[in-house]
Structure 1
Amino acid sequence: MTTTHIPTEKCSTTEKTTTRDDDSMASLTKLYAIAEAVSDRVEMHTIIGEQRNNWNFLLVSSINAITLSAATMAGLSAIPPGEPLLAFKLSSTLLYLVATGLFMVVNKIQPSQLAEEQRNAAKLFRHLHTQIQTILALRTPTLVDLNDVMERVLAIEKAYPLPLLPLLEKFPEKVEPTKWWPSYKRLQKQEQQVGGQIEGNGWSRELEEEMKGVIRILKRKDIAEYVRLGKLVLKVNRILASLGPSLTGVAAVGAALVGSPSVGQWALLAGVTGGALASVVNTLEHGGQVGMVFELFRNCAGFYHLLEESIDSTLMEREVDKRENGELFEMKVALHLGRSLSELRALGSLSSSSSEDDNTSEFAGKLF
């Protein structure tokens, strides 16, 4: 009987190849599982967003109907003679109290802002799902890819949670850009941040200066402008949120005092006018979706802050071979800003030639 001898090196190579294949298959399976979960998140956030948008519409309509009905009843309760019309007086007072409670709840949860949070979460999860599909189409995913995707899923869920409670702060003391991404890894060693090769892989000194110029304009103009607008809208929303319940509360007191000998006329004026003004305030605040506008401005600031961090993190890596291809990166930045490549280069050179306190009116972004 002839015994076949298999060389040890060939066995070892075969085992290593099999192990690599098993690892690749495991990574593929995990990334497909994450992709399914992300697709499910898109559907969930879309449904919840539509539900909360319906809340806003229904609550605005209900509060307006209640306050206008209460104002009408307050007016009717002043028509003589008195006793049968006591029902109008009591009904008006009760409706105003209900409207005050609803006002306080709606101002607390800000349904239009909740709906905008879910719309943005659905958009971000769609974008992440597309990026996962791109990874699967171009290469075998690595452990780094899996960790990065998982961190991004968790970061989006933290920024835009599905549960209603606990609520995210709707009236923050400090307005900052929304953050829905994990922090970029900064290079820890100082020696890695100096020297190194800065030519090649589509990168050049001119391109680096161009990207640094874009960062300066993003910080000085785009991010600062959207934060300023967010503060302005938040201030308006605070005023409207306190004014609505105050008007219905005053109207409730006025409706209860209609017919009193001493303050009858003033009570009637407060009961009728307070309800009408409360309906106007409710329509301006929630019909105009002021909370949604505030969230929109924060998200816009967050979009430009993410772009700034992405550029900064790329430039921190001094070895260009470890960066994304420079020409591809420049094209992505131009698309994010809604500019052509020539416009982006002109923008970078404009910022590079200006001082830090330049008051140019040029913004980096043209999309919004």
Structure 2
Amino acid sequence: MSTLKASWSASSSSTQRGFVKAAINIPTRVARISLPGLRKAEEMDLHREKQLSPVKIRTTNKNEDNNGPDPMVMAKLYAILEAVADRIEMHKNIGDQRNNWNTLLLTSINSLTLAAATMAGIAAISGSSAAMKVSSTAMYVAATGILSIVNKIQPSQLAEEQRNAARLFKQLENQIRTVISVGNPTAADVKDMMEKVLALDKAYPLPLLGAMLDKFPANVEPAVWWPEQRMKLHSKGDNKSYNGWNGKLEEEIKQTVGVLRIKDKEDYLKLGQKALNLNKFLAIAGPTLTGLAAVGSALVGSPCDEGGWAVGMAVVGGALASVVNMVEHGGQVGMVFEMYRSNAGFFKLMDESIESNLMEEDLERRENGEVFEMKVALQLGRSLSQLRDLAAAAAVKGKDIDEFASKLF
């Protein structure tokens, strides 16, 4: 009987797996007598299979999870992505607001100044009206105070900072989406993206009080909006042990970064210094002229106003102040300075990125050489052949090269 049970169990299991290995011919009499026992054996086998089936399913799911991305890492990356999207919107809105500040304050201050100059001239011609003198003086004092604050915060420069921040956060958003869509992101990717977000927050602060960048630094330095460059592990090439690098490519990249340092970055730092000096002069000249005009307006018609010098100071000072204010804020000199500083920062970032790759002696741990060369060429607005021609010219001429590396700026 035990042999019959085992045979029936084996036949039942084989049939469930879809493989029929043998046919058992059981006499009708024997089958009728042993049917309850056979049913019991079959039920026990089915019960054992039901117990084992969930274990097999869970094991399969676990293996699949190990091959896929870590859900916790993905959740953190999506949280960072949401924060970055929010920052893009904030910087865009605040940039628009500060650009409006520049336009409205420029119009208001020039209107006050020209109205005060007109009233001072009328008061001198009519020879009466203390009210005209007082009104003119009050308007000059108000213009001086407002202009001093505006020159301190530089709305056009603030607007340019927010535009740069919105663009860089948008770039970071695209990087995060690429990391999510390509390959399995890791905890190192989460840490890297967090550091980039915090570095951008520090480089382009939103508040004014206590956090605003110095608008008139002693020396011009490139803008820095990235964390410290560290060696990064890159996946090894499948079919090229040298990972796309060779001696010729490495020398080409070294020559390119040399041109970036001595030409592009230095040139923009010099231009930034000139824009900063001009902005400093205009920022001091504007309030000084309106202040002198206020003094002249207060002294119009007084005993010490011999020869009409007071009215001349009031009228001419107001007119010159309007011109200075228009050049400084209408010409957005602060924005130009920030643009030069940001461009110098872009070349500094390229310099550090190239150096971090070249300092890694293990070629397999570098970013793929062919991909890296293409990135450098695109960032400089050059084709690969143009990049190689630049490196060849730099190798021959050295510091005397008259060509800039970038064709974009």
**Could you tell me how far apart the structure 2 residues matched to 1:66 and 1:20 are?**
70
Are 1:318 and 2:318 matched, yes or no? no
What is the CA-CA distance between 1:140 and the residue it aligns to? 2.1
Whole-Å Cα distance in 2 between the matches of residues 78 and 117 of structure 1? 45
Q: 1:164 aligns with which of 196, 208, 213?
A: 208
Structure 2: gaps spanning 5 or more residues: 1-43, 233-239
2:123 — aligned with what?
Answer: 77
Q: CA deviation at 1:359?
A: 2.1
- Once the two structures are overlaid, the 10-residue window that deviates more, 321-330 or 115-124, is 321-330
Q: Which residue of 2 aligns with 1:31?
A: 77
Q: CA deviation at 1:262?
A: 3.0
1:266 counterpart residue number: 309
Equivalent-residue separation in structure 2 for 1:130 and 1:14 (angstroms)? 34
Q: Does 1:175 align with 2:217?
A: no
1:126 aligned partner: 170
Q: 1:12 to 1:212 in 2, by over 3 A?
A: farther
Give the whole-Å Cα distance in 2 for the aligned partners of 1:349 and 1:94: 66
* Map of 1:351 onto structure 2: 394
Q: Within 2, Cα distance between the matches of 1:199 and 1:231?
A: 47
> 3-state DSSP class of the match of 1:262?
coil
User: Could you say what secondary structure the match of 1:354 adopts?
Assistant: helix
Query: 1:171, 1:234 within 8 Å by CA — same for their partners in 2?
Result: yes
User: Deviation of residue 80 (structure 1)?
Assistant: 3.1
Cα deviation for residue 17 of structure 1 reads 3.4
**2:405 maps to which residue?**
364
Q: What amino acid does structure 1 have at the position aligned with 2:268?
A: Y
Q: In the alignment, residue 116 of structure 2 is paired with which amino acid?
A: A
For 2:87 and 2:127, the matched residues in 1 are separated by 62
Does residue 277 (structure 1) correspond to residue 320 (structure 2)? The answer is yes
Contact 2:127 2:301 in 1 (8 A): no
Cα distance in 1 for residues equivalent to 2:288 and 2:362:
62
Q: Supply the AA of the counterpart residue of 2:403.
A: E
Q: How far is 1:199 from its partner?
A: 6.5
- Using CA pairs under 8 Å that are at least 6 residues apart, name the structure with larger relative contact order, 1 or 2: 1
Q: How far 1:103 moved relative to its partner?
A: 1.0
Q: Residue 12 of structure 1: CA displacement?
A: 11
- Residue 89 of structure 1 pairs with residue 133 of structure 2: yes
Map of 1:304 onto structure 2: 347
Secondary structure at the counterpart of residue 99 of structure 1: helix
Could you tell me which residue of structure 2 aligns to residue 50 of structure 1? Answer: 96
Q: Which residue of 2 aligns with 1:154?
A: 198
| Percent of aligned positions that are identical | 56
Give me the whole-angstrom Cα distance separating, in 2, the residues matched to 1:321 and 1:11.
39
What secondary structure does 1:353 align onto?
helix
Q: State the TM-score, normalized to the length of structure 2.
A: 0.82
Q: For 1:322 and 1:339, locate their aligned partners in 2 and report how far apart those are by CA, in whole Å.
A: 26
Per-residue deviation, 1:260: 1.6
Q: In structure 2, what residue type is equivalent to 1:79?
A: I
8 Å CA contact 1:199–1:205 kept in 2: the answer is no
Deviations 1:135-175 (A, max 9, x none): 12212211111111111010001000111222210000111
State how far apart, in whole Å, the 1-side matches of 2:377 and 2:229 are.
21
Kindly provide the amino acid, as one letter, of the partner of residue 367 in structure 1. L
| Partner of residue 105 from structure 2, selected from 52, 55, 59 | 59
Please report how far the alpha carbon of residue 200 of structure 1 lies from its aligned counterpart in structure 2 after TM superposition.
Answer: 1.7
**2:36 maps to what in 1?**
none
Contact 2:231 2:357 in 1 (8 A): no
- CA distance in 2 between partners of 1:172 and 1:215 (Å): 27
| Aligned-pair CA distance for 1:228 | 0.5
Contact 1:116 1:296 in 2 (8 A): yes
1:210 aligns with 2:256: no
Using structure 1 for the length normalisation, give the TM-score: 0.91
Aligned to 2:243: 201
CA distance in structure 1 between the aligned counterparts of 2:126 and 2:292, rounded to whole angstroms: 23
CA contact (8 A) 2:68 2:184 kept: no
1:349 Cα shift?
Answer: 1.9
CA shift for structure 1 position 367: 0.1
Q: Larger Rg: 1 or 2? A: 2
Is 1:289 the counterpart of 2:332? The answer is: yes
Q: Mark the CA change 1:81 to 1:243 in structure 2 (over 3 Å): closer, same or farther.
A: closer
Q: 1:311 to 1:106 in 2, by over 3 A?
A: same
Query: Which residue of structure 2 aligns with residue 194 of structure 1?
Result: none
Aligned to 2:180: 136
The aligned counterpart of 1:220 is: 262
Q: In structure 2, what is the equivalent of residue 339 of structure 1?
A: 382
**How far off its partner does 1:23 sit?**
6.5
Paired with 1:199 and 1:101, the residues of 2 have a C-alpha distance of 67
Residues 167-186 of structure 1: CA distance to partner in whole angstroms, max 9, x if unpaired? 21000011110000001016
